[in-house]
Amino acid sequence: MLVMRPAQMADLNEVQRLAADSPIGVTSLPDDAGRLGDKIAASETSFAAEVSFNGEESYFFVLEDSSTGKLAGCSAIVASAGYSEPFYSFRNETFVHASRELKIHNKIHVLSQCHDLTGNSLLTSFYVLPDLVNSASAELNSRGRLLFMAAHPERFADSVVTEIVGHSDEQGDSPFWDAIGRNFFDINYAEAERLCGLKSRTFLAELMPHYPIYVPLLPDAAQEAMGQVHPRAQITFDILMREGFETDHYIDIFDGGPTLHARVTGIRSIAQSRIVPVKIDDNVAKGGRPYLVCNGQLQDFRAVSLELDWVPGKPVSLSPEAAEALGVGEGGSVRLVAV
């Protein structure tokens, strides 16, 4: 059974194995033991802290195969994007150029660098093994974070954002980066993202153009790349769009990938999840509807994907194996939402 839980320092080698296979652009998963160790340490501190509002905390989760101890995926939440430095994006805007005398009225698409999304909670570090991409396990790896937010709302902002990896080719070249960023840094996209993973995105963002960029002046390839999703990030995009995230207003400043945004109250897994009492049953009927189920705890947070024959308003029947994986007993409670 695959179980989502907080990452521990003992997971470092396995996490680095996942990071090594993550696509270019996932700067929150650098293939660097030191940075990943810092990430896990910060997460352990955040889970242990008493928190009454969102601050500098970050929460890193792994998806573990309980039978082998191997990791099949990981994901994270940053409580406040840009807590110690601005969180930069390009905002899609429309400028109007008009002349009464010539009777011309043109609307021009422009990109303006901004940090509007600073302070929002941020979903990051999503990775799942390729053979699990189209399974309920990918849903668990992504949406399990949202169940954690539902269980601990005081730790997060009222809005959530996430950056989806944009288009780049097999050689790691990005037409959007080549049209804009490469004019300010004599490095390719892959190297820029590597530096961001090892250091910070901010030091590069601060050297990017701060004046509006007129989109019609960009090469066609760069314009076509705006808002495009990297094939390996499509699963993340699809899951979060089904959750109610919107994609029209912001794009990533490096590869032009979409930046998704949603109010917490409008996120499906948060708004539609329910807390129900647990009944342990040795003869749980097989089949039923797939659900994501979590125990709602903090440091001992656990979430799994189960097929349940649950009737709203009634207790949910769990097998002893599922109850053990979740760390709940008879008379306890879980939070669940339909897949």
State the catalytic residues: 230
By DSSP bridging, strand 121-128 and strand 159-163 are parallel
Distance, CA of 254 to CA of 98 (rounded, Å): 31
Distance, CA of 204 to CA of 58 (rounded, Å): 22
User: Cβ neighbours of residue 132 under 8 Å, at least 6 residues apart?
Assistant: 72, 73, 138, 141
**Residue 141's closest CA among 18, 284, 274?**
18
H/E segment holding residue 46: helix 33-48
Cα–Cα–Cα angle for 136, 21, 269, nearest 5°? Answer: 30
Helix, strand or coil, per DSSP, at residue 164: coil
DSSP one-letter code for 335 = E
